[in-house]
Amino acid sequence: MKNMLSTKEVARFLNINEKMIYSLVAEKGLPATKITGKWLFPQHLVEHWIENNTMNFPEMNKAVPSLNGPIIITGSNDPLLERTITLFNSRFPDHLAVFGNIGSMGGLRALRRNICHMAASHLLEENETEYNFDFARQALDKMPVVVNFCRREQGVLINKSNPFQISAVRDLEKSGVRIVNRSLQTGTRILFDRELKKVGIAGDKIHGYDREVDGHLDVGLEIVAGRADAGPAIRPVAAILDLGFIPLRWERYDLLITKERFFDPGVQSFLSLLHDPAFRKMADDYQGYDLSLSGRMIFPEDKPNNQDIYPNKTAVIANKIKKKIEKK
C-alpha cells in the first residue's frame, strides 16, 4: 500500500496548522479518506494535489522548436486527436507532430514551461458551463489562444452485460463493483470526482478508486479484460470496444496555444485540418463527437460565421487575427 499520512503528518508535510487541514479537505479538495473515524491522506495524491494547484512556474531557458521543426502536442488524450496527428504527418511530410499524454493539467504546465506548441485540455470550471479559462489564467502568465478541437460526450463505461445493473454514478458504490480510474491531472478525473461528490459518495467507498490508468482506451481495455466493471471515459471508446455507456455531459475539448506560437507554420497547418473533410469523416467513424465548434477560435472570441481564420488561407485574415490577439 502507498504511504498514508495522518492529519498531523500531512500538516507537517504542508507546513501549516493542523486545523487548516480540515478546511483544505472541505474547500480545496485535499485528497483524504476517513477510516475508523480518522482522516488519512495518501501521500502520492497529496503530492499530485500540490502540483495541480501550483502557480507561477519558473521560466525555462529552452523553448520548443519553431518553423519547420516537430510540432509537440501535450495534455489530454483522445482517439480522434491521435488519428488527426497521423493525418497531419501524412499530409505535411516537412513537419512531424508528436503527442505526450500527460493529462489536461500536465498540458498546461508544459505550455507554461514552453516545452510544447499546443496543449489539449477539457478542464471543467466551477460554474460547470465553461472550460479551461480559469485553469489557464492560474497556470500561465498570459491567456493563450484557445481553438476548439471538438465537443465529446463524457460518461462511465460499463460492460454490456452489466451484471450489477449500473445505470448511474451512485450505483458504483454497490457491493462487488470494481472500477478503474484516471489520474488526478486529467479533466476526466476532475469531472468524475465532482459527480461522485454530487451524489455524496466518497472515493474510498468504491473498490478500485485508487487504481489509475493513463488513457480513455486503457479504461475500456480494463473492463474488456474483466479486471473492472466500470470507469470514467468518453463515449467514442464505448463505440470502439463495444461497451455500455452511461452519459454524464458533453464537454468542450480545446487546443491551447501561446500567442507566440500560434502563427508557426506547423501549428497553422495542423489547425487547418480541423476544417478538412478527411477530419470530419474520421469523426463519423465514432459515436460521441460533435464537430460544430471544431476549428473555431474560442479565445480571443471569433465571429461564429468566420471559419477561415488561418494564415495559410489568406494573408489578409491572418493579419487581422494577429492584430486582434496583440490587443488582448
Name the more confident of 16 and 63: 16
What is the distance, to the nearest Å, from the Cα of residue 142 to the centroid of all Cα atoms in its chain?
A: 20
pLDDT of residue 237: 98
Q: What angle do CA 132, 82, 117 make, to 5 degrees?
A: 50
pLDDT for 309 beyond 80: no
DSSP state of 235: H
pLDDT for 317 beyond 60: no
Name the more confident of 2 and 76: 76
Helices (H), 199-314: 216-224, 235-241, 265-272, 277-284
pLDDT of residue 313: 38
Mean predicted confidence (pLDDT) in 100-113: 95
Split at pLDDT 50, 70, 90, the class of 2 is low
Q: Which residues contact 220 (CB under 8 A, 6 or more apart)?
A: 157, 231, 233, 237, 238, 240, 241, 243
Mean predicted confidence (pLDDT) in 79-93: 96
Name the more confident of 63 and 183: 183
Coil vs helix vs strand at 214: coil
pLDDT of residue 307: 41
Give the chain's mean pLDDT: 87
| pLDDT > 70 fraction of the chain, expressed in percent and rounded | 85
Split at pLDDT 50, 70, 90, the class of 58 is low
Mean predicted confidence (pLDDT) in 235-248: 97
Lowest-pLDDT range, 2-16, 69-83, 302-316? 302-316
pLDDT of residue 82: 97
Overall pTM > 0.85 = no
Does the domain made of 71-152+252-327 have the CATH classification 3.40.190.10? yes
Name the more confident of 43 and 75: 75
Domain 154-251 CATH superfamily: Periplasmic binding protein-like II (3.40.190.10)
The C-alpha cell that represents 258 in the structure block: 501561446
Name the more confident of 225 and 56: 225
pLDDT of residue 213: 96
pLDDT for 252 beyond 90: yes
Mean predicted confidence (pLDDT) in 208-213: 95
pLDDT of residue 25: 81
pLDDT for 187 beyond 60: yes
Domains 71-152+252-327 and 154-251 are alike in CATH topology: yes
Mean predicted confidence (pLDDT) in 2-14: 86
Mean predicted confidence (pLDDT) in 301-324: 45
How long is the chain? 328
pLDDT of residue 271: 97
DSSP state of 207: B
pLDDT for 312 beyond 80: no
pLDDT for 127 beyond 70: yes
Counting beta carbons within 10 angstroms of the beta carbon of residue 242, is it exposed (0 to 12), middle (13 to 18) or buried (19 or more)? exposed
Task: Provide the residue ranges of all domains of the chain, joining segments of one domain with +.
Answer: 4-52, 71-152+252-327, 154-251
Split at pLDDT 50, 70, 90, the class of 302 is low
Neighbours of 22 (CB within 10 A): 13
